[in-house]
Amino acid sequence: MTVLVGFRPGESSADALALGAVLARSSGQPLALAAVVPQAWPAPSMARIDAEYVGWSAEHAAAALEEAKGRIEPDVEVSCHRVAGRSVSSAVLELARSLGVSIIVLGSAPETALGRITVGSAANQLAHSSEVPLALATRGFGGADHGSGGARVSRVTCAFAGTPDSAVVVREAAALAGRLGADLRVLTVGLRNPPMIPPEVGLDAEDEVLAQWREQMAVAQKQVLADLDVPAEAQISVGDDLHAALVSAGWAETEVLALGSSAPGPLARVFLGSRATKFVKHSPVPVVLLPLHS
Amino acid sequence: MALQERGSFRAEIFRRKPVTAPDEGGHGGLARTIGTFRLTMFGIGATVGTGVFFVMHEAVPAAGPAVIIAFVIAGIAAGLSALCYAEMASAVPVSGSTYSYAYATMGEIIAMVVAACLLLEYGVSTAAVAVGWSGYLNELLNNLVGWRFPDALSNSFAVEGGFINLPAVLLVALCAFLLIRGASESATINAIMVVIKIGVLLLFAAVAFTAFDSNNFADFAPMGAAGVTAAAGTIFFTFIGLDAVSTAGDEVKDPQRTMPKAIIGALVAVIALYVLVAVAALGTQPWTAFSDPEQGEAGLSRILENVTGTTWPGTVLAAGAVISIFSVTLVVMYGQTRILFAMGRDGMLPKAFSRVNPKTQTPVTNTVVVAVVVGLAAAFVPLDELWDLVSIGTLIAFIAVSIGVIVLRRTRPDLPRGFRVPGYPVTPVLSVLICGYVLSGLHWTTYLWFLLWLAIVMAFYLLWGRRNSALATGESAEERTE
């Protein structure tokens, strides 16, 4: 099994590379770098001008791969692949199938705010079609802390919504944590509702609802942890909005947030639900989207 | 403690919920930040819109022009109760409804009596407000697009030609949907609603005064004092919501000074507005005309149309009413769901009422049950049958709070109180007396319905709630010490 990092030559790939290296090191797997170049026209053109372009793009990709490889610490085994495809997602997916990779890693779009994730078009398409987990690096993950020094994933935090679907995600996340040799934390995130105004039954009526929700979630967490055969920490975090709630959960140095689809279908595919989409957008750490085998 | 008490029935039904500080801080950033003006806006926002748009049709035939006095009496009763309510809220730091205060101070069975009253104050008034809203919606549709819901679909079957009040049902369903989604109204929206409500009521007064005829007041109190008392009983529900000011105690800056200012400020504003509307309306037509069934729907709009001969002032008023009554329905229905929620947490109702849906983080089952019951009442019960039940429930709840203040001063003088009622013990005693007087004006059938309802709630409590109480199972004590 292999960790596959996909990128387009010429675009910043530092974050995805750093995350890929951390994942590869943690799981003891080799790292495959895939530079995706545009596909050549199937029929040769009259002046063979296309071949010239293909030649250039191959050189360009080779240089980018060389540069990328140079950034990976020597303790990780690296292989380089140049793949041609009409889109990053289809090319990466094809390579992933032929290599038999365990996880695909992509970076965030260049315009993303530091420390956040945006789901670019490639990530979006992969999220809808990948049969293996998809990891998305936060912007700036490749900064000094994570890119070097033999960093490993210290903890996998799994978002748990207290629903039966969500329990499936926890099991998948536990397996991921096992593969990465990381600790497991089950995190349930809630939002603090603003009071209804005018306050017919007091401005703190929602506190009671929140307290009840906490109790229910604590019970649900206990149940889901009892079903696992590995030890895990459980935490409930509440905030005025999703980002604040996620941030206040507290995050280890090299931690990832594992999310699953909210409605597992008959196919084992990563498919982003509306809830998962929000979590990705507000996560302060890299995210791993887990395909659910229902 | 639970074990010792289990033996004695009396100890069981009078057990009190221990008072503890609420677990969750935060209050959405409102801690001790609310000043007099904002608090007054809470009071006006919660009060105006529950009834003034529909009450004339019910109350004027009972008292004649003397309905003005009834407005003042009902208002004073509500104001005194609100002051008592404020002391109770500040002394008992539990999530704020009269039910919770009664449970903490006077025991479980009294809390259930209060709960029975609150179901009328909130649940039935939601239904009644929705029915009144449907009248203004029809008026607005009719004037704007020339189409209205046919009679069979906008009246209960108890009214001739009616079958189901569909707009009222739709309003209730919409509010339920919003509550399930976790929607809430902000202070800004409340302020906007207050402006809309006051604006359309002032518009009404201004236009109606152009047709003012003092001869309409010649026979001032045709029904005598009894008529005034009866009207005050019916009118009382228009002042429900004034207690919203009192529940905000924890978050109010300098409550001892702010609270009475805000309660009296809101009360004066509301009474002034109501009296203005009443005088203006009474000036336009003889008091006997108010009972005309034509004015049972969108009454204030109809008066404006009769006065001006054109539809636009009535249309503007109807539009304001449709918007602001919608917001009142949302707020009151929210209150109902959260009271039932607290009861579910206490084991007084099945746990389903306190289940929070993990996805929406709101009590979905609870909200759906409330919506179905309120929706059925709104669909099939005519307006005038509902209002007196709202009044009796609220009055008895208010009396319970006023007595509770006296009880608590005697039994727990040590409790810190952020606000102490001025003029103790005169204020709570006067509050009980005036509420009792207003209560005496209600028709005996209202009492009968009320007693029947109370009997059902008591039977449920004695057979089910008493055994499932969180205090009986000891569950709450454990949870609270966590």
Question: pLDDT tens digits for B119-152?
Answer: 999 999 999 999 999 999 999 999 999 999 998 8
Structure pTM? 0.90
* List of chain A residues whose C-beta atoms are within 8 Å of the C-beta of residue B29: 240
Question: pLDDT tens digits for B180-195?
Answer: 999 989 989 999 999 9
Instruction: Give the count of Cβ contacts less than 8 A between chain A and B.
Output: 137
pLDDT of residue B2: 45
Coil, strand or helix: which one is A224? Answer: helix
Q: Which of A186, A209, A222, A242 to mutate to test the interface with B (most CBs of B within 10 A)?
A: A209
Residue B7 reports pLDDT greater than 70: no
Radius of gyration of chain B (CA): 22
Would the CB atoms of A201 and B247 count as touching at under 8 Å?
A: yes
Look up tokens 């104001």; give the residue: B79
Distance CA B30, CA B38 (A): 11
Distance CA A40, CA B198 (A): 71
Token pair recorded at residue B454: 């109370």
Residue A77 reports pLDDT greater than 90: yes
Q: How many residues are there in chain A? A: 294
Nearest CA of chain A to the CA of B37: how many Å? Answer: 13
Amino acid B130 reads: A
Distance CA A196, CA B172 (A): 17
Question: pLDDT tens digits for B156-178?
Answer: 887 788 899 999 999 999 999 99
Question: pLDDT tens digits for A87-102?
Answer: 888 999 999 999 999 9
Q: How far from B451 is each of A204, B121, B442, B446, CA to CA, in Å?
A: 32, 15, 13, 9
Amino acid A294 reads: S
Contact B96, A209 (CB under 8 A): no
Distance CA A155, CA A255 (A): 5
How, if at all, do strands A287-290 and A31-38 pair?
unpaired
Would the CB atoms of B338 and A213 count as touching at under 8 Å?
A: no
> How confident is the model over B44-49, as a mean pLDDT?
90
Give A127's pLDDT tier (boundaries 50, 70, 90): confident
Give B482's pLDDT tier (boundaries 50, 70, 90): very low
pLDDT of residue B26: 44
pLDDT of residue B176: 97
Distance CA B32, CA B27 (A): 10
Nearest CA of chain B to the CA of A262: how many Å? Answer: 10
Would the CB atoms of B332 and A200 count as touching at under 8 Å?
A: yes
pLDDT of residue A292: 75
What separation, in Å, do the N-terminal and C-terminal C-alpha atoms of chain B show? 18
* Torsion angles phi and psi, residue B271, rounded to 5: -60, -45
Contact A176, A156 (CB under 8 A): yes
List residues of A whose CB lies inside 8 A of any B CB. 161-163, 190-213, 215-217, 220, 240, 275
Question: pLDDT tens digits for B312-325?
Answer: 999 999 999 999 99
Nearest CA of chain A to the CA of B162: how many Å? Answer: 33
Give B32's pLDDT tier (boundaries 50, 70, 90): confident
* List of chain B residues whose C-beta atoms are within 8 Å of the C-beta of residue A245: none
| Position with higher pLDDT, A205 vs B32 | A205
Question: pLDDT tens digits for A179-205?
Answer: 999 999 999 999 998 889 888 888 888
What integer best gives the mean pLDDT of chain B? 89
Distance CA B432, CA A38 (A): 84
pLDDT of residue B322: 95
Token pair recorded at residue B241: 């919501």
